[in-house]
Amino acid sequence: MGGRTTRQRKAVTRALAGCQDFVSAQDLYALLVAGDHAIGLTTVYRALRELEADGGVDVVRDETGGRLYRLRPADGHRHYLMCRDCGRSRPVDSEVVEEWAGRIAAATGFTAVEHTVELTGVCADCLPGAEGGRPSGDEGEEPLCHWDRAQAPRDPVRSCAS
């Protein structure tokens, strides 16, 4: 990984690891400060930028273009289906998209091809008449993220992972 592994970058990485869904830099900062970490918002942004450059996070954009972050799994970047109502994300099998992008690159002679895939919908728990509201994960589990998702904007997001 590029960049120095500072105490602050480790704290950002640990906080991201505790979040099941995508989180904004501002919400991640609030989570860190609430956990008594001495860190500035600029430092959070810098750490996220470095993690993105190193391939350590997946990034999606909300409706206003704001960036949301999630720790990238060890097996590489993924695409996500995002709930337009609550923001819950679920990784989806996107091998066909990756293969298609590779074929396009090879056929055109382009290199370093990046792509954007947007998959949004409304999860079963947000459908009108659904009981119980948004789940926090597996049945009976508390959410791993310690910030209140209900206070976050309920905007659509789109995948910009490449």
pTM: 0.64
Q: What angle do CA 52, 70, 134 make, to 5 degrees?
A: 160
Pair of tokens at residue 87: 């923001």
More confident position, 97 or 103: 103
Pinpoint the alpha helices (H) of 4-157.
Answer: 7-17, 25-34, 41-53, 95-108
Q: Are 138 and 47 in contact (CB under 8 A)?
A: no
Q: Are 95 and 101 in contact (CB under 8 A)?
A: no
pLDDT value of residue 1: 45
pLDDT band at 161 (very low <50, low <70, confident <90, very high): very low
Q: Are 12 and 59 in contact (CB under 8 A)?
A: no
H-helix or E-strand containing 91?
Answer: strand 89-92
State yes or no: pLDDT of 162 exceeds 70. Answer: no
State yes or no: pLDDT of 135 exceeds 80. Answer: no
Which SS3 state, helix, strand or coil, does residue 26 take?
Answer: helix
Give tens-digit pLDDT for 15-68.
999 988 889 999 999 999 998 888 999 999 999 999 988 888 988 887 788 899
Q: Are 122 and 85 in contact (CB under 8 A)?
A: yes
